[in-house]
């Protein structure tokens, strides 16, 4: 089943700017230095790569979405369409930075191996993405609507939200020295949940008719409204971030 999310750079810009607006703590953790070579893995529309370049670092940006890569290039940033599990770099970067992307990569071990291969010895890996418990209200609601409608088929959850202990072990197994890793609950204000579903969950329902897709969104919205909507705060999604800083050690396997 084609479960691939389609990214619309304009919708993303209009309704999902919170993704980069809330990324300043992880940029601080990166602490880019002048002349460092930095890979922005999953650059989206290039907002954060543009921030990193302000520190006079040299940035290469990659993303799986060609429309996002185009937006990034429009900012004058060198950018390529590339998958986190098939990076073409070898010992090239002082740091690999990734925000709000790695929960889309089901094979976490493969992406960690590729990140390690891309880094110089002692290079650092700084990332933040959805961790254990992330958007549980949302995924439970999606599952419930699929359960109600046999004709929709199975709910094919495209995300991984690992525990800090699990991800730390994976990093260590791949020769990283983990300086910091933490799960951080971060309730996040979003636009109407329909916009969130349009931007981030369109792959889950791409096999359905337009009418069924509409029904899915309306039913998910109705389940979630009493749980994550209030007049005072609007829609607030139950985000949990996994934030980390790790160093590639000399013992990292070269595969
Ligand atoms: C997240 O950033 O946690 C996220 C965004 C879209 C879909 C799933 C998770």
15 in contact with ligand 1, CB cutoff 6 A: no
Whether residue 194 is contained in a domain is answered as yes
235 in contact with ligand 1, CB cutoff 6 A: no
| Strand 234-237 with 229-230, pairing | antiparallel
Whether residue 196 is contained in a domain is answered as yes
Whether residue 180 is contained in a domain is answered as yes
State phi, psi for 189 to the nearest 5 degrees: -65, 130
Which is nearest to 157 in space by CA: 106, 113, 122?
A: 106
101 in contact with ligand 1, CB cutoff 6 A: no
Q: Work out the widest C-alpha separation in the chain, in whole angstroms.
A: 56
Measured distance CA(73)–CA(16) in Å, rounded: 19
Distance 250 CA to ligand 1 centre (A): 33
* Contact residues for 201 (Cβ-Cβ < 8 A; gap 6+): 5, 142
- The pLDDT of residue 1 is 44
Whether residue 169 is contained in a domain is answered as yes
Nearest CA to ligand 1 atom 9: 130
Q: Token pair for residue 74?
A: 């429009």
100 in contact with ligand 1, CB cutoff 6 A: yes
Q: Token pair for residue 110?
A: 């493969």
- The pLDDT of residue 20 is 78
Range of the domain at 135: 9-248
- The pLDDT of residue 193 is 97
- The pLDDT of residue 137 is 98
> In this structure, what DSSP letter does residue 46 have?
S
- The pLDDT of residue 255 is 52
Find where tokens 């740091």 sit: 95
Nearest CA to ligand 1 atom 7: 200
189, β-bridge pairs: 236
Q: How many CB atoms lie within 10 A of CB 242?
A: 25
Q: How many CB atoms lie within 10 A of CB 50?
A: 18
- Output the tens digit of pLDDT for each of the chain's 255 residues: 456 889 888 887 777 888 878 899 999 999 999 999 999 999 999 999 999 999 999 999 999 999 999 999 999 999 999 999 999 999 999 999 999 999 999 999 999 999 999 999 999 999 999 999 999 999 999 999 999 999 999 999 999 999 999 999 999 999 999 999 999 999 999 999 999 999 999 999 999 999 999 999 999 999 999 999 999 999 999 999 999 999 999 766 555
Looking at the structure of the chain, the number of domains it has is: 1
Nearest CA to ligand 1 atom 6: 200
Whether residue 139 is contained in a domain is answered as yes
Contact by Cβ (8 Å): 116, 124: no
Which of 20, 21, 103, 235 has most ligand 1 atoms within 8 Å of CB, for mutation? 103
Distance 131 CA to ligand 1 centre (A): 10
User: Where residue 240 sits, what CATH number does that domain have?
Assistant: 3.40.50.150
Distance 68 CA to ligand 1 centre (A): 16
130 in contact with ligand 1, CB cutoff 6 A: yes
Whether residue 49 is contained in a domain is answered as yes
Helices (H), the chain: 9-15, 18-21, 24-30, 47-53, 66-74, 108-118, 136-148, 164-173, 193-200, 210-228
Contact by Cβ (8 Å): 63, 84: no
Distance of CA 221 to the CA centre of its chain: 23
Whether residue 87 is contained in a domain is answered as yes
129, β-bridge pairs: 242
Distance 143 CA to ligand 1 centre (A): 16
Give the DSSP H or E segment for 37: strand 37-41
């Amino acid at each position: 089943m084609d479960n691939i999310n389609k990214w619309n750079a304009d919708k993303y810009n209009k309704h999902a700017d919170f993704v980069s607006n809330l990324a300043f703590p992880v940029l601080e953790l990166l602490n880019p230095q002048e002349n460092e070579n930095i890979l922005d893995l999953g650059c989206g529309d290039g907002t954060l790569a543009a921030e990193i370049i302000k520190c006079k670092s040299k940035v290469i940006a990659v993303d799986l979405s060609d429309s996002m890569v185009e937006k990034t290039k429009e900012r004058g940033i060198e950018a390529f369409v590339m998958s986190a599990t098939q990076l073409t770099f070898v010992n090239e970067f002082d740091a690999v930075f990734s925000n709000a992307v790695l929960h889309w990569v089901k094979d976490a071990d493969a992406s960690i191996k590729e990140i390690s291969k891309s880094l110089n010895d002692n290079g650092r890996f700084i990332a933040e993405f959805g961790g254990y418990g992330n958007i549980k209200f949302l995924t439970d609601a999606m599952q419930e609507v699929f359960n109600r409608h046999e004709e929709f088929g199975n709910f094919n959850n495209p995300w991984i939200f690992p525990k800090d202990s699990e991800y730390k072990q994976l990093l260590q197994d791949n020769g990283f020295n983990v300086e910091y890793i933490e799960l951080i609950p971060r309730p996040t204000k979003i636009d109407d949940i329909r916009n969130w579903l349009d931007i981030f969950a369109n792959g889950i329902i791409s096999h359905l008719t337009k009418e069924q897709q509409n029904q899915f969104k309306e039913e998910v919205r109705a389940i979630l409204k009493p749980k994550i909507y209030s007049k005072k705060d609007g829609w607030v999604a139950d985000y949990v971030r996994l934030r980390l800083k790790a160093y590639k050690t000399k013992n990292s396997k070269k595969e």
